[in-house]
Amino acid sequence: MSEPQTPDWVRDAVFYQIFPDRFARSDRVPKAAGLQPWGATPTIHGYQGGDLLGVSERLDYLEDLGVNAIYFTPVFQSASNHRYHTHDYSKVDPMLGGNAALRELLDRAHERGIRVVLDGVFNHCSRGFFPFHDLLENGQESAYIDWFHVEDFPLTAYHPDQPANYACWWGLHALPKFRIETPAVREFLWGVARSWIDFGIDGWRLDVPQEIDDDSFWREFRRRVKQGNPDAYIVGEIWGDGSRWLKGDMFDAVMNYIFTRACITFFIGKSLQRRHLEPEPLRDAQPADAREFAAQIDRMRGLYHPNVNAVLMNLLGSHDTARFRTLAGGDTSAVRLASLFQMTFPGAPCIYYGDEIGMEGGHEPASRGAFPWDESRWDLSLRDDIRRFTRLRHDEPALRRGSFETIFAEGSVFGFLRRLGDDAIVVLLNAGQDERIVTVALPKEIADGTMFADRLESGAIRLESGALRSVRVGPRSGRVLAAEARR
């Protein structure tokens, strides 16, 4: 098979993940009477009324942060605040503003060069999805009986203490699983994927795609999507090794939870609040020093082709995890340091909404709180630093498209080199509580006498005898040193 081809624009992307019910509300979208107050403690079932026009009205904020791509959790009509229980795949939920709101958001975002990726839930639907509702109403006489894995009658959809008599995701009666081998189901789902590409979205994030254990389904999914938009981004929710899907014939990338785990082990380390991690697949994360962290990164990079590594969605957290700051026991330095790594590492960084202003929250639903638009509640220093990191990434092509090489890994300090043509950037990260003074050897291709300017602070360091000598790296901080001779 030829090498995987991945969308070029993703190499330059800084993603921002939005949980639509909790990011922003617009007065232009009518609201139901039963909403929780904005900012109320998140609950499993309650709505707080965020919508897509609210996002459209906050694009200035996202653009200022350095975001140029948005990943939304599901937006289609659903009787759940997270909308993974899809009722109608052809309609944006009216509570989010309907199809017209998505149209406006896409148009406004695209005018600014901001891409929009939607969440595709194709393994299962909801009890309210019309073909399943028909099955509940008509039983064995339903025209859609072959759309689902029916085991017996009667079906028991609303009594979780009784057998459902149909296959459902993780045994949840509310989530009937599609019978993917049925031709009509396949055509329906491929049609959904293509129709929204034609509408103008820039790609799909795929929910639990490993549950559809059918490579031919995903190959045809890719063909249909790419036929509509060759630059569409297809990223799967795979928590471990995604090699099976990343050979160039199915997905472009995965949500890189291997990256997430590595960041937890090094940047949080022994401060990890394990009770918040226990309900999650990352629960086995253990504290790591720089050498162990480097080994994790090398193993991760060795899994995939360079074209895939360049577009992996690198995240510190998501709607399915506790927030990074909460895992760190409120230690903002962990968020700051991990974010610096995220913005200087190969792949597409993804900020979980509100992490940049210090939002906290344990395992879901606690991690799905409403964004506080009162700036007095923001950690402005953290926000400003993350904004500096995203701008640094945009300013330096080597940080987006350059090679990667580990050049230092001792104790609490991890260092790497990014190179693109004559550009060379050294990144040093100290996860320890004490200042470290290190000497870092660089490849002989970089000439002695080259001055490396600190891109975060003032000052410069001269390359002497093939090394940067006596480089000070403060506690819980990092340095980004860019070769000046290239300018």
Enzyme catalytic residues? 207, 237
b/e string for 146-178 if b means 16 or more Cβ within 10 A? bbbbbeeeebbbeeeeeebbbbbbeeebbbbbb
Q: How far is CA 251 from the centre of its chain?
A: 15
Q: What residues form DSSP beta bridges with 477?
A: 430
| Torsion angle (degrees, nearest 10) of CA 266, 271, 272, 275 | 170
Residues in the chain: 487
Report the candidate in 377, 373, 379 with the shortest Cα–Cα distance to residue 48: 373
* Contact predicate 241/254, CB 8 Å: no
Q: Which sign, positive or negative, has the C-alpha torsion 446, 343, 259, 15?
A: negative
361, 368 contact by CB (below 8 A) = yes
The conformation of residue 477, written as its DSSP 8-state character, comes to E
What is the separation of C-alpha 32 from the centre of its chain, rounded to a whole number of angstroms? 30
The helix, strand and coil proportions of the chain, stated in percent and rounded to the nearest 5, come to: 35, 20, 45
- For residue 350, give the 3-state DSSP assignment: strand
**Per the structure block, which two tokens stand in for 109?**
């975002």
Distance from C-alpha of 380 to C-alpha of 299, rounded to nearest angstrom: 36
* Structural contact between residues 389 and 65, judged by C-beta atoms closer than 8 angstroms: no
Cα gap 338→266, rounded to integer Å: 9
> Given the DSSP bridges, would you call strands 115-120 and 86-92 parallel, antiparallel or unpaired?
unpaired
**How many helices and strands in the chain, by DSSP H and E?**
14, 18
Three-state SS string across 435-452, please? Answer: CEEEEEECCCCCCCCCEE
* Token pair of 167 as six digits: 């296959």
The encoded tokens of residue 398 equal 């080597």
SS3 for 189?
Answer: helix
Q: Are the C-beta atoms of 52 and 96 separated by less than 8 Å?
A: yes
**What is the 8-class DSSP label of residue 132?**
H
